[in-house]
Amino acid sequence: MVFGMSASLILVSGIFFISLLLTMVGLGGGLVFSPLFVILGLAKTEAASASLFLNLVAAGSAAYTYSRKKMVDFSLSIPLIISSSLAAPAGSYLNMHIDLRPFLIIMSAVLALAGIRMLVSPADEFETGGMESRHRIFGGIGIGLCIGLMGGMLGIGGGVFVVPLLIYLLKTPTKIAAASSTFIVCFSSLTGFLGYASMEKINWWFILPAAVASFAGGQAGSRIMSTRLKGKSIRVIFSIILFALCAKLLHGYFS
């Protein structure tokens, strides 16, 4: 993929703002990067690998800020990290063996379902530790296996699955769920990316400059979320992003 100077600046600026917006709701940017790169002409495996790397950078940048502000639930995150990291390479393998059209349909369906669920806000914010520790650990392992597999296959790191599942299944406060998600998807993104790197050549000339913008966006987004956003606002922003992207993918599929 080769762009002129103006197009490259626009793309890098877009990567910055995508990372800024999505790290505010617990994502690293991979949710948008993967389909965006497919639309711009990358092969689906190249798009997924680039997306996972940028997702890793943005999420890692945000997770550092959130952890310093004590917003990451490490006791909940670690079981998800282990299980999602083990499952993500299997997702990468599945990506290599499915056609593009089913790939886009799967992604659209996942986005639509997640968006609907996020609009159904809980009556009250859950209190941290609302479930027994044992249930949270086993629930975290099960969620991690699912997000690692789907995130690796779709090239989105898994954060789109993490946040709703933490909020509604493990009764985690919205801000803690979003902050913990950035920490969790760093690891599933890394192992998913390594799965692609072991199978094909990586376009570092494109990825590294984009990673600088992704890192800066992650820093900006995490600082805005930690000081200014409320849980309800995070869920609404999350849902709007999911529906917009789902509509774009379906338009491309049927046009």
The Cα 77–Cα 90 span in angstroms is: 20
Average pLDDT over residues 110-114: 77
Nearest to 137 by CA among 73, 186, 228: 73
C-alpha–C-alpha distance, residues 250 and 26, integer Å: 24
Residue 38 DSSP symbol: H
Higher pLDDT, 145 or 157: 145
- What three-state secondary structure class fits 73? coil
Confidence at 212, pLDDT banded by 50, 70, 90: very high
Residue 3 in any domain: the answer is: no
Q: Is the pLDDT of residue 98 over 50?
A: yes
State which H helix or E strand residue 239 sits in: helix 231-254
Instruction: Answer for the pair 49, 121: CB distance below 8 angstroms, yes or no.
Output: no
C-alpha dihedral sign at 234, 154, 29, 175: positive
Q: What is the mean pLDDT of the chain?
A: 79
Q: Does residue 68 lie in a domain region?
A: yes
Provide the pLDDT for residue 216. Answer: 95
Query: Does 54 reside within a domain?
Result: yes
In a domain, 1, yes or no: no
56: helix, strand or coil = helix
**Per-residue pLDDT at 137:** 77
pLDDT of residue 123: 45
Please report the pLDDT score of residue 147 as a whole number: 75
What is the reported pTM? 0.74
Other beta carbons within 10 angstroms of residue 198's beta carbon come to 9
Looking up tokens 């997770």 gives: 63
Query: What is the mean predicted confidence (pLDDT) over 103-115?
Result: 77
- Would 41 be classed as within a structural domain? yes
What percentage of the chain carries pLDDT values higher than 70?
86
Domain that holds residue 49: 9-254
**Domain tally for the chain?**
1
Task: Decide: 125 and 75 in contact? Cβ < 8 Å.
Answer: no
The per-residue pLDDT for range 53-84, each reduced to its tens digit, is 998 999 999 999 999 999 998 888 888 888 87
Does 4 map to a domain?
Answer: no
Note whether residue 28 is domain-resident: yes
